[in-house]
Amino acid sequence: MTILVKNKHTLQIDDFSFQCCIGKRGTTAFKKEGDKKTPKGTFKIENLYFRKDRLKKPLTKLKCIEIRNSMGWSNDSRYSYKYNKLINTREKIRHEKLQRKDYKYDLLIPIKYNFDRSIKNKGSCIFIHLTENYKPTLGCVALKKKDFLIMLKLIKKNTKIKII
């Protein structure tokens, strides 16, 4: 099964189409850290991370991981062995905090872009996460919560995402 991001407004899974938003500057085959673009290509997806303090564990075949206060995702290219990986926020490296004050990361799935043997400055923290208003992201793919929950029922561990 493949999640297809057809354009900057449409995510499709089989016969289901959802409105989505992507990076502010569109898509690119040459992603760079901070360019506000969503990487083009076909990628595996990671586990589902969720805020247990805000919602119950969703119905999905993905492995579910509760987001804790100490969890972050490294975007610090000075540390190549930790770049674009889940980290403990007590480490003194730059990161995206997963337990945010807003709702955007209440549900998130990391896209395995630049994931195995990551190359520094090629882009990190590319997630499927939540939106309420479809404002462009910094490079992620975002869906409304109701659509995200439907998507979770359709996908499984070996699902890929294709961004064109």
Residue 101 sits in a domain of what CATH number? 2.40.440.10
Give 56's pLDDT tier (boundaries 50, 70, 90). very high
Give 110's pLDDT tier (boundaries 50, 70, 90). very high
Give 161's pLDDT tier (boundaries 50, 70, 90). very high
Q: Is the pLDDT of residue 80 over 90?
A: no
87 vs 146: CA distance, rounded Å: 29
* Structure confidence at residue 19 (pLDDT): 97
Give 114's pLDDT tier (boundaries 50, 70, 90). very high
> What are the tokens at 95?
């990161």
* Structure confidence at residue 126 (pLDDT): 97
Residue numbers of the domain that contains 107? 2-163
Please give the mean pLDDT across all residues of the chain. 95
Give the mean pLDDT of 101-129.
Answer: 95
Percent of the chain having pLDDT more than 70? 100
User: Which run of H or E residues covers position 148?
Assistant: helix 145-154
List pLDDT tens digits, range 3-41: 999 888 999 999 999 999 999 999 999 999 999 999 999
How many domains does the chain fold into? 1
Tell how many helices (H) and how many strands (E) occur in the chain: 1, 15
Give the mean pLDDT of 146-159.
Answer: 97
pTM higher than the cut 0.85: yes
The DSSP bridge partners found for residue 27 are: 38
